[in-house]
Structure 1
Amino acid sequence: MEFLLTSLVVCVTPGTGVLFTIAAGLSRGTRAAVIAAVGCTLGVVPHMIAAVTGLAALLNASAVAFETLKYLGVAYLLYMAWSTLRDKSELTTQDRGADEPRSAGRTILTGVLINILNPKLTLFFLAFLPQFVDADEPYAFLRMTELSAYFMLITFVVFAAYGRFAAAMRSRVISRPHVVRWMRRTFAVAFAALGARLAFL
């Protein structure tokens, strides 16, 4: 229960994944928000694999590897800020349920990259998961995999809820062009700020 509660707190706390999912919900509706949540959830998998195989410990021990991952994440967040700021596409109140597969695939890929390039997740799995697995646990690998699966489920549910709420607010936002402009600027600044914070992690 303690693991589940802590995981919930971690997922509810706004970060890059939450920000991306909310942006998808506001700009393209519920379907896009859920797809974004799927992408962010899949982005947890590499960190989970690293944790259960011991790669996370090696990454943490290698300053060069950790710094490389960190600055790749910073660069990608700055790219997200720039892309959001230059986006001039028109928003409509219609939920784009018929999005092209390529668009859905791009949304998933972006969500995956956002979390893959987040070294804080690596630190989370490295420092947090082992606390809930006994040193003499005969099936430690399976136990860590199970806990990681719970974390992924919580991530998806929380992110999808954020996204659906944002999608429900679309009509109020889109009917005001000046709000849309400031919304994009706000998201761009938020992505840039998260990138700057990550740079000094």
Structure 2
Amino acid sequence: MALSLWLSLLGATIVISFTPGAGAINTMNNSMRQGWRASIWGVIGQQIALLIHVVIVAAGVGLLVSSSPLLFAGIRYAGAAYLVYLGIRMMLSKPDVASDGTSTGGTLTRGAMLRRGILVNLLNPKAIVFFLAFTPQFIRTDQPLLPQYLIYIGTIVAVDVLVMFFFFAGTARSFQRFTTTVRGAKLLNIVFGVLFILVAAMMLLIH
């Protein structure tokens, strides 16, 4: 991949990663509930989902999803339903205030954060359509594909991890003071629950 093309990829990826979405909300929530360092497991899960999306597009399945209204709608509704489920569960959960202020509604295991990170990003058919349009801009079919895809996905994952972990998760640490009281923890549960539901509504309403 030419340096100029890679710099374009890098710039586009930075802008996209900083765009708030379900992944950013999930990362911030994990950081406040489980702690900044532990939130990396949710970020890793989200990167696994990105890898799956790129593989789906590279394999040509993305074209099938984007061209099949029924399949696209099925994945879209499943993704929205999962986010609504997370939102409602969060709003109804009982705050569990720890002395170090890292828990707001029950401790999640690393595996649970990993699985939720995967599902939050994976159940979004718009991401498949996005990569379907985005990937060809940086992959040249007249050149060896494997090195290009490795650079492509490596850049996307590296940037997204840095932005999610150091920006979104890092920023969330400044709000951890709210987790030291039951009232503050409950407020955060409601706020993040509403945010998950709003993202779900956007998935359904914005075409």
Which among 34, 58, 75 is matched to residue 52 of structure 1? 58
Match of 1:195 in 2: 200
Match of 1:17 among 6, 23, 42: 23
Is 2:26–2:117's contact at 8 Å kept on the other side of the alignment? yes
| Correspondence for 1:122 | 128
The Cα of 1:141 is off from its aligned counterpart by 4.5
- Superposed displacement of residue 95, structure 1: 7.3
Partner of 1:160: 165
Q: Counterparts in 2 of 1:91-110, with a 5 A limit?
A: 91-94=97-100, 103-110=109-116
Q: Distance in 2 between matches of 1:89 and 1:95?
A: 11
TM-score (norm 1): 0.89
Secondary structure of 1:138's aligned partner: coil
Instruction: Check the 8 A contact 2:72/2:125 in 1, yes or no.
Output: yes
Aligned Cα RMSD in Å?
A: 1.9
- Are the aligned partners of 1:41 and 1:112 in contact in 2 as well (CA < 8 Å)? yes
TM-score computed with the length of structure 2 as normaliser: 0.87
Q: In the comparison of the two structures, how many residue pairs are matched? A: 195
Q: Judging changes above 3 Å, is the alpha-carbon distance between structure 1 residues 145 and 126 closer, same or farther for their aligned structure 2 residues?
A: farther
Q: Name the residue aligned to 2:117.
A: 111
| Mapped partners of 2:99, 2:28: distance in 1 | 16
- Structure 1 residue aligned with 2:3: none
Contact 2:36 2:173 (8 Å CA) reproduced: yes
Q: Is the 8 A contact 1:31 1:95 kept in 2?
A: no
1:134 and 2:130 aligned:
no
Hey, what does 2:48 align to over in structure 1?
A: 42
Structure 2 Cα separation of the partners of residues 93 and 125 of structure 1? 43
Percent identical among aligned pairs is: 24
- Is the 2:95–2:186 Cα contact (8 Å) retained in structure 1? no
In the other structure, the counterpart of 1:99 is none
Question: Following TM superposition, by how much is the alpha carbon of 1:199 offset from its aligned partner in structure 2, in angstroms?
Answer: 0.9
Q: Partners of 2:194 and 2:169 in 1: how far apart? A: 19
Which of residues 121, 144, 148 is equivalent to 1:143?
148
Contact 2:91 2:190 survives alignment (8 Å): yes
Which segments of 5 or more consecutive residues in structure 2 lack a partner in the other structure? 1-6, 103-107
User: Where does structure 1 lack aligned partners over 5 or more consecutive residues?
Assistant: 97-101
Residues 79 and 151 of structure 1, relative CA distance in 2, 3 Å threshold: same
Provide the C-alpha distance between the structure 1 equivalents of 2:140 and 2:51, rounded to a whole number of angstroms.
22
Amino acid at match of 1:67: A
Residue pair 2:95, 2:185 contacting (<8 A) in 1 also: no
Residue 100 of structure 2 aligns to a residue in which SS?
coil
Query: How far has the Cα of 1:165 moved from its partner?
Result: 2.9
